[in-house]
Structure 1
Amino acid sequence: MDTLDSVGLGTMGISDPESITLAIEAGYRHLDTAQVYDNESVVGEGIRWAEIDREDVFVATKVWIDQLGYDSVVQSVTDSLERLGMDSVDLLYVHRPRGEYDPEGTLEGFEELVDRGSVHHIRVSNFEVPQLKEARQHLQAPIFANQVEYHPLFQPTDALADAQANDYTLVAYSPLANGRAGDISEVVDIARTHDTTPEAVCIAWLTAKDNVVVIPKASSKAHLMANRDAAELQLSTNERTRIDDIERETELFPE
């Protein structure tokens, strides 16, 4: 696989492998976990239960801030692979540019893992534009993606512009505003117009943007299907602009 589906699965808080299996059976092919989620083994087991060919699913994990030194990166990812029960991950993130993060040493460790075949693509998460520019100076290969919080109440348009200008993917986490989609009046009004849910409107609004995919969390079959189907919802230009113009800035997961 060389591209990401418009709707993937965020797995933070998922502790049952059956939820991962259900997602795969529902058509999900992009599964996002992290060392700090403490569920890499759950994700790996759920994939094995689904009996899907390994090359047919994108698996992403993230290195936490206390493991970002060169030696720690290599060892911690080796441990992640053991927990996942895999020889490699498709996507590896710097979870946040904090703690032991050092652009030169950290990214050298990431590229070492690519050279070993343990990682296929390097990604970053929660990077602001100046940090992205700095990271690019230390990488031989282009950044494959940046994962950021993105929803109607928090819109990092500068990160989106950088992704579009440099042709990489912006992965939007918490696209449903951490359960607050139904509290956003503009989104609720648009949902009524389309006889759908505020959550579907949030996903449709984001996936209509160039270079953006979303990774909402879901564990039930109904919610898994609803989130994937939401990408097919067509909002008008005026509706999308109305959400774009929401002035409130509420970062739910600040540093």
Structure 2
Amino acid sequence: MDYVNLKGVRVPALGLGTWQLSDAQCADVVRAGLAMGYRHVDTAQAYKNEDQVGLALADSDVPRDEIFLTTKVWHERLEADDLKRSVDESLTKLRTDHVDLLLIHWPNPEFPLGRSLEALAEVKARGKARQIGVSNFPVALLREAIERHGADLLCDQIEYHPFLSQKPILEFARAHDLMVTAYSPIARGEVAAHPVLTRIGERHGKSAVQVTLRWLIDQPNVAAIPKASGEKHLRSNFEIFDFKLTDEDRAEIDGLLGDRRLVNPGWAPEWDPA
């Protein structure tokens, strides 16, 4: 396993995403992933599967302190008291007294950002979250959170894959000692048949998906959380630590970067230019 090391925190660079996993399938996938060697698990209140993730954690032989667990507060629950209540609900479902990373899932201008960040910091101070961060925050909101409100953030979780440049956020993150966690890292499967990624994979005896995940976690401060619906894809995603991309490979992948955004709901903020 490779790691992102920031602010005294060691985060497995490859995590297990659980978006769209539910019921027994979710618990089975998380259980299998932990048995396989995954130690970074990502969930959220909005995924409605925290209870299944918690069940898998409880069933696993892996000690809780070896697992980096992330959950997120939904954008409609960012009023301070409601945020704190929602965290307690998440911890109950997850069967743990803390998460390793707690994120604001989406920004919401209806709630003053400073107050939400204060509540997040209070949750951390009470030991219910080891680290705090945000998700889907463009540079302007990151700057407001850190420079105006003094928030001590570890992470911004964003959509990031070979078809979506996130250069402004990556540059800001590296300048401010932030981790970027890439969700939808394989562009909802679109990378799998891409000719450039497939050709690079053939050079290494790997798939286009494996090439993409390797490209992501090779980047400074970047982790990736691909979802897998079963053990076959779990294992394939995990088998990326036995090869290295060349400078030529990386240059070819960088040449694909554009503005292909797959996640853009009505409540999304104004994004940074690609």
TM range (shorter): over 0.9
Percent of aligned positions that are identical: 35
Corresponding residue number in structure 1 for 2:14 = 7
Corresponding residue number in structure 1 for 2:251 = 241
8 Å CA contact 1:67, 1:100 repeated in 2: no
8 Å CA contact 1:65, 1:100 repeated in 2: no
Give the TM-score, by structure 1 length: 0.95
| Letter of the structure 2 residue corresponding to residue 14 of structure 1 | L
8 Å CA contact 2:13, 2:224 repeated in 1: yes
Q: Deviations over 1:139-177 (max 9, x none)?
A: 555211111111011121111111211222110111111
| Letter of the structure 2 residue corresponding to residue 13 of structure 1 | Q
Runs of 4+ in structure 1 displaced over 3 angstroms?
Answer: 137-141
8 Å CA contact 2:165, 2:257 repeated in 1: no
From 173, 179, 185, the counterpart of 2:189:
179
Corresponding residue number in structure 2 for 1:51 = 61
8 Å CA contact 1:153, 1:248 repeated in 2: yes
Give the TM-score, by structure 2 length: 0.88
Q: Deviations over 1:71-107 (max 9, x none)?
A: 1101111111111111111110010112644211100
Secondary structure of 2:21's partner?
A: coil
Mapping 1:1-255, distance limit 5 Å: 2-15=9-22, 16=24, 17-98=27-108, 100-137=110-147, 140=150, 142-254=152-264, 255=268
| Letter of the structure 2 residue corresponding to residue 233 of structure 1 | F
In the aligned structure 2, how far is the partner of 1:229 from the partner of 1:182?
15
In the aligned structure 2, how far is the partner of 1:247 from the partner of 1:171?
17
Unaligned runs of 5+ in 2: 1-7, 269-274
| Letter of the structure 1 residue corresponding to residue 263 of structure 2 | F
Structure 1 residue 38: deviation in Å?
0.2
Count residues in correspondence: 255
8 Å CA contact 2:157, 2:182 repeated in 1: yes
Distance 1:233 1:189, change over 3 A: same
Unaligned runs of 5+ in 1: none
Corresponding residue number in structure 1 for 2:5 = none
In the aligned structure 1, how far is the partner of 2:223 from the partner of 2:158?
11
C-alpha RMSD of matched pairs (Å)? 1.6
8 Å CA contact 2:160, 2:183 repeated in 1: yes
In the aligned structure 2, how far is the partner of 1:84 from the partner of 1:38?
11
In the aligned structure 2, how far is the partner of 1:248 from the partner of 1:112?
38
